Structure 1
Amino acid sequence: MSRTTVGLPAAARAFLAMPRTATLTSLRPDGSPHVTPVRFTFDASAGLVRVTTRAGARKTRNVAAGGASARVALCQAEGFRWLTLEGRADVTDDPARLAEAVRRYTARYHVAPPAPPDLVVVEMTVERVLSLNL
């Protein structure tokens, strides 16, 4: 999966740095949307969103079933401000990528993420940014 740098205004970067929960939307095999709250990290220099989760979670299965064309959207909102990141996603259990996801999560939320035995990371390469009041 290729990575691209995402240029965002300072206000948008600050908003995404807030330790908030967002929603992740993936598509079920029948095409219907699956929306779930998640904690995440955003790496603007790599253009990458990371969500740690279980391999058996519905969102993970949706992304895996989508293959190379799997698309997701992550939206963080607060009051009348919101920012959505959209792009292609994949799932990995690569130890180095998991460790980086856990490190970033812990730095952002000041607590380690849950560590189920089937821990994986959903990685989204950001292709589109939408926002309001940022």
Structure 2
Amino acid sequence: MPAVPPRAEEFLAAPHVGTLTTLRPDGSLHSVAVRFTWDATSGLARVLTVASSRKARNLIAAPGSRVALCQVDGFCWVTLEGTATVRDDRSHVADGVRRYAKRYWSAPPDPADRVVIEIVVDRVLSLNL
């Protein structure tokens, strides 16, 4: 797991929104605004979504795909890059929900086909942190 500077850790703990970039089956980029959580201990970023979303379908179509998750505030940003897996089992989804509620101070929506995208981060880029 790459080292994350302390100021970047603080920045990633703030309740900002980020963008998640995945690849569509045709190779084109798909970027979308997301709420996410970062767990420095395990090196995992998590994004809650539904299985029918474009981002989840992109990753299901190409297991182990690389993604980029970027959080920006003014002239400060952190990008987390790594491989992503879509998980639908209750324990992983529940863990994602718990972490989301802690970061954003409220529970996320509860759709029937909720999944969690887990990103094993292996590269961290940042500016002005």
**Deviation of 1:7 (Å):** 2.6
1:95 matched residue in structure 2? 90
TM-score by length of 1: 0.94
**Deviation of 1:101 (Å):** 0.4
Distance 1:96 1:83 in 2: 28
Unaligned runs of 5+ in 1: none
TM-score by length of 2: 0.97
Distance 1:26 1:106 in 2: 24
* Equivalent residue in structure 2 for 1:115, among 110, 116, 121: 110
Give the alignment of 1:1-134 within 5 angstroms: 5-68=1-64, 70-134=65-129
Contact conserved, 1:6 with 1:44, CA < 8 A, in 2? no
1:21 is aligned with what amino acid? V
**Deviation of 1:6 (Å):** 4.3
CA RMSD of aligned residues (A): 0.8
- Number of aligned residues: 129
1:129 is aligned with what amino acid? V
Distance 1:46 1:6 in 2: 11
**Counterparts in 2 of 1:93 and 1:45: CA distance versus 1, 3 Å:** same
Contact conserved, 1:7 with 1:44, CA < 8 A, in 2? no
Distance 1:9 1:75 in 2: 16
Unaligned runs of 5+ in 2: none
Contact conserved, 1:21 with 1:40, CA < 8 A, in 2? yes
Identity of aligned residues (%): 57
User: Secondary structure at the residue paired with 2:47?
Assistant: strand
Distance 1:67 1:42 in 2: 21
Distance 1:67 1:99 in 2: 22
